[in-house]
Amino acid sequence: MTTQDNTGGLFGPLFHGSAIGAVFTDRAHLQGMLDFEAALARAEAKTGVIPAEAAGPIAAQCDAALYDLAALAEGATRGGNTAIPLVKALTAKVAARDKAAAGFVHWGATSQDAMDTGLVLQLRAAVALIEADLAKLSGNLATLAQKHRQTPMVGRTWLQHALPITFGLKVAGWLDAVERHRARIIELKPRLLVLQFGGAAGTLAALGDKGLVVAEALAADLKLALPATSWHGARDRVVEFGTVLALLTGTLGKMARDIALLMQTEAGEAYEPAGEGKGGSSTMPHKRNPVAAAAALAAATRVPHLAGSLLSGMVQEHERGLGGWHAEWQVLPELVQLSAGALAQMTEVTGGLEVQRDQMRANLDATNGLIMAEAVAMALGAKLGKQEAHHLIEAASKRAISEQRHLRDVLAEDKTVLLHLDRATLDKLFDPLGYTGVAAALIDRVLAARRT
């Protein structure tokens, strides 16, 4: 449920995206519950629990556009949830046209049945949007990984130059994580997209011996799975979805952080797609800010705390909880929208990422060959032993720094080095692409896993 019938106001397009916002408007919240009520009437009519002629008049009034949001919000402050005033309003609308049918509105159900099932219907729409964007993101990353499998760049650890890698390998790392999130969502859908229908205390006692028959018909009508029992007080289904999205948002935040760092003036290795007014400054004409990364990082900052609220709310009392369930109503939609918004931002960025190959290559030379120190040490270690070679290259590196010279030139003056490594070998050892290990094979493994 949201507090207003829009897609997040001024900040909605930045943090939520557009499509996902429509899933979580107040109207959509009401429509989910009304879809439950219409399906319930049809299922009960089909199974002989209510008169067959009652279903049509009830379903005819199950359109959220017919209801006054402000009046329902006021009613929720007295009833404690939105289902109570909605069922009352639905009953009144049905009674105005068919008094007999009005007596069978919400027959045998409880408020939480309508709200939880309505939420699941909203989440089903949200999952479809998220899966579509994840597929696009995966495709974008696969294209980048393949295209840049031989694009050398600086690998950084603790924000410092470490060893050469390829940009394709960096992207493959992002892709590998994204594919795990896609798998998680596929795996959780059978647990998430299920009917909630238990009546007042989960027994469906009001329906006598027809409880399960109605439940089966209701689940079939809504195209939801029928769980073994109602889950009023067991919130792991929706909390699992929230935590999986929190994991996804963390990965999106990691991607955003990497791209933002690559966009720094001192690096200049990759840029978000350019566009009219994109990333500009109100005062500095030259600025090109990583705005999509900022939005994704904001989501990655907020979502873990929202997921924490969902986890805290799992400790519920007896058959139906007090407070924990209520805490989900605004937290879960906000979490889903933030996650989906970050996903939309990073999907757009990776679809048009501007990769600066020349700058990546130039940055490899920024330390005058020091980034290749390990490569030389390993080659020399095969002749002298690892420790002796390490100490020799460490001393040469310090000299290169103090004299502001290229490490290769310093080593070319060392008789011990030349005794074991000639100049041609030294030159080869200072080729960054010659020291990227099995990067290409790792990229192939990620791409192959994605295809299967």
CA 418 to chain centre: 53
The question of whether 339 is a catalytic residue gets the answer no
Cβ-based neighbours of 402, under 8 Å, separated by 6 or more: none
Phi, psi of 337 (to 5 degrees): -70, -40
pLDDT of the residue at 2: 42
> Mean per-residue pLDDT for 109-126?
97
**Domain residues of the chain, as ranges?**
9-361, 367-438
- How far is Cα of residue 27 from the mean position of the Cα atoms in its chain? 24
pLDDT at 1 over 80: no
pLDDT at 447 over 60: yes
- CB count within 10 Å of CB 444 equals 15
| 327/335 Cα distance (integer angstroms) | 12
Domains 9-361 and 367-438 share a fold: no
Tell whether the model's pLDDT for residue 174 goes beyond 60: yes
How many beta carbons lie within 10 A of that of residue 293, not counting itself?
26
pLDDT at 278: 63
Answer yes or no: are the C-beta atoms of 343 and 255 closer than 8 Å: no
Q: What is the pLDDT of residues 256-281, one digit of tens each?
A: 999 999 999 999 999 999 866 565 54
Residue 451 has pLDDT above 50, yes or no: yes
The Cα diameter of the chain in Å comes to: 103
Q: What is the per-residue pLDDT for 280? A: 55
Separation of alpha carbons 32 and 193, rounded Å: 13
Backbone phi, psi, residue 41, to 5°: -65, -45
Q: Give the phi and the psi of residue 225 in degrees, each rounded to 5.
A: -75, 150
Mean pLDDT score across all residues of the chain: 93
* Both tokens assigned to 88: 């009352």
Residue 285 has pLDDT above 80, yes or no: no
Which pTM value belongs to this model? 0.92
Q: How far apart are CA 308 and CA 424, in angstroms?
A: 58
Spatial distance between the Cα atoms of 116 and 83, rounded to a whole number of angstroms: 10
At 92-112, the pLDDT tens digits run 999 999 999 999 999 999 999
Is residue 10 pLDDT above 90, yes or no? no
Tell me which of 320, 357, 399, 405 is the catalytic residue. 320
Residue 45's closest CA among 101, 83, 109, 115? 101
The rounded Cα 48 to chain-centroid distance in angstroms is: 44
Which of 18, 97, 180, 281 is an active site residue? 281
Which tokens belong to 245?
């999205």
Fold observed for domain 367-438 = Ribonucleotide Reductase Protein R1; domain 1 (1.10.40)
The predicted model gives 305-313 an average pLDDT of 96
Which tokens go with 152? Answer: 């050398």
Alpha-carbon Rg for the chain, nearest whole angstrom, is 30
Does the annotation mark 320 as catalytic? yes
The per-residue pLDDT for range 238-254, each reduced to its tens digit, is 999 999 999 999 999 99
Architecture of the domain delimited by 9-361: Up-down Bundle (1.20)
- Looking at this protein, which amino acid is placed at residue 236? D
Q: Is the pLDDT of residue 19 over 90?
A: no
Q: 3-17, 122-136, 387-401: which has the minimum mean pLDDT?
A: 3-17
Mean pLDDT of 296-305: 96
pLDDT tens figures, 53-82: 999 999 999 999 999 999 999 999 999 999
What integer is the mean pLDDT of 390-410? 95
CA distance 417 to 413: 8
Neighbours of 36 (CB within 10 A): 30
Is residue 279 left, alpha or beta, with left meaning phi > 0 and alpha meaning psi from -120 to 50? Answer: left
pLDDT single digits (tens) 122-166: 999 999 999 999 999 999 999 999 999 999 999 999 999 999 999
Which residue shows structure tokens 């502001």? Answer: 404
